Amino acid sequence: VRIVILSDAVSVAEFAAEEMAAAISSKATSVLGLATGGTPVGAYRQLIELYKNRRLSFSEVTTFNLDEYIGLSPDHPASYRYFMNENLFRHIDVQIKSTHIPLGDVSDLIAECCNYEARIERAGGLDLQLLGIGTDGHIGFNEPGSSLAGRTRVKTLTEQTRRDNARYFSSLDEVPTSAITMGIGTILEAKRILLLATGSNKADAIRAAVEGPLTTSVPASALQLHSATVVVVDEAAAAKLDRHDYYRRSELEGRRLGLIR
């Protein structure tokens, strides 16, 4: 796992946007896996700027989001469909029919999960998956205890996750208790993975994910099994990494050898 430690959240956003833009530039029909939450918003802002400056077009891009709350309709202001429309899709030239987010308000949840997997497969799989990380180590809504081979399915949210996300709702009671999420098995099939984390509240989760044992108790630790994962963190989120200096030296070495830009 490549660990990139940058000074602040703005640099993390810039790095992520550049990686995504480079993926689209080299393959206009890229299939991107996208994430919601506070962390990726800065990267989405940068991508919108690149689009406005006519340096990037999303017209042939297909997207799949990681997850959606169960019980919220797509037009609910706290739904992830609403979040993506507001924070990215309506500002760029992506075709809305090419953007996919699980539907959390359907009667047949199992069919919705199976269909989502099938749609990812029909699109040719995910070229690049963007991830955040929960304070409990989750990726998508794969909470601690999730199978490391799981597919898109319904997961019950931990109380920690519900508290973390209560800021998007008027009260904790309104936060849904479950969600549809891509599984860790689905995520690990992405050709490349980019996990972003900023702020000191993510330092424990990042340490456990990167330097701890591979365990269902820290779902993000499954990324240790993936051969093309980049973890991009600011100094605050990197603060508890034992091998901090080594990661910094590895980046310098990679640049010296011309292996990374």
Q: Are 179 and 139 in contact (CB under 8 A)?
A: no
Active site residue 67: yes
Interface with ligand PGA, residue 16, by CB under 6 A: no
- CA separation, residue 259 to residues 142, 249, 250, 252 (Å): 33, 14, 11, 10
Of 31 and 37, CB closest to ligand PGA: 37
Catalytic residue among 68, 100, 138, 234: 138
Piece of 35-43, 49-57, 76-84, 227-235 that binds ligand PGA (CB under 6 A): 35-43
Active site residue 173: no
Of 96 and 143, CB closest to ligand PGA: 143
Interface with ligand PGA, residue 132, by CB under 6 A: yes
Say how many C-beta atoms besides its own lie within 10 A of residue 187's C-beta: 27
- CA separation, residue 174 to residues 36, 79, 137, 181 (Å): 18, 12, 23, 19
Kindly state the number of chain residues that form the binding site for ligand PGA, as judged by CB under 6 A.
6
Interface residue with ligand PGA, options 30, 39, 62, 152 (CB under 6 A): 39
DSSP bridge pairs for 196: 232
Active site residue 204: no
Q: Smallest gap, in angstroms, from Cβ of residue 133 to ligand PGA? A: 6
Q: How far apart are CA 198 and CA 91, in angstroms?
A: 24
Q: Smallest gap, in angstroms, from Cβ of residue 37 to ligand PGA? A: 3
Of 119 and 162, CB closest to ligand PGA: 162
Interface residue with ligand PGA, options 37, 42, 102, 176 (CB under 6 A): 37
- CA separation, residue 220 to residues 118, 123, 124 (Å): 24, 25, 24
Active site residue 138: yes
Q: Smallest gap, in angstroms, from Cβ of residue 93 to ligand PGA? A: 25
31, two tokens: 């299939």
Contacts 24+ apart (CB under 8 A), 84-87: 84/34, 84/36, 87/41, 87/44
Residue with smallest beta-carbon separation from ligand PGA: 37
Of 38 and 212, CB closest to ligand PGA: 38
Interface with ligand PGA, residue 134, by CB under 6 A: yes
Q: Are 171 and 207 in contact (CB under 8 A)?
A: no
Q: Smallest gap, in angstroms, from Cβ of residue 256 to ligand PGA? A: 33
Interface residue with ligand PGA, options 133, 190, 195, 236 (CB under 6 A): 133
Interface with ligand PGA, residue 176, by CB under 6 A: no
H-helix segments, 95-243: 109-122, 159-165, 184-188, 203-211, 235-238
Give residue 73's region: left, alpha or beta (phi > 0; psi -120 to 50).
beta
Q: Smallest gap, in angstroms, from Cβ of residue 140 to ligand PGA? A: 7
**At a CB cut-off of 8 Å and minimum separation 6, what does 190 contact?**
33, 125, 126, 127, 128, 129, 226
Q: Which residues are catalytic?
A: 67, 136, 138, 143
Q: Point out which residues bind ligand PGA (CB under 6 A).
A: 37-39, 132-134
